[in-house]
Amino acid sequence: MKETLNKIAFQRDIVLPSIGEGRQLIGKETPEEIADYYLEHSSKTIIIKLGASGAYYKTKENNGYVKGFKVNEVVDTVKKYKSSKNLSKNILKRF
């Protein structure tokens, strides 16, 4: 399964794993190592979700950390998927 998921990720411009998913899929520990791995395999933008502490992002030109923010209430888990969808929409608006 790891091989299949990584093959799919290598064909994507944007890869958005959590730190735990990255560790499981490729066996690297740090957000920087995980991002480097996917950049070396053709992905263009990597965003490693770090839970409440935020996220690490990396492209060939830029990298850095984005601080998390407190969420007072989450009504349902569908919001999680809407959040990723909105992120993708906003990134695509740049192109």
For 11-29, what is each residue's pLDDT tens digit?
778 888 889 998 988 888 9
**Edge-to-edge strand list for the sheet holding 45-49:** 14-15, 45-49, 54-58, 63-67
In one-letter notation, the amino acid at residue 4 is: T
Q: Write down the pTM of the prediction.
A: 0.70
DSSP state of 15: E
The pLDDT assigned to 78 comes to: 54
In one-letter notation, the amino acid at residue 1 is: M
pLDDT in tens, 46-77: 999 998 889 999 999 999 999 888 877 766 65
User: Domains (ranges, CATH) in the chain?
Assistant: 2-69 (3.40.1620.20)
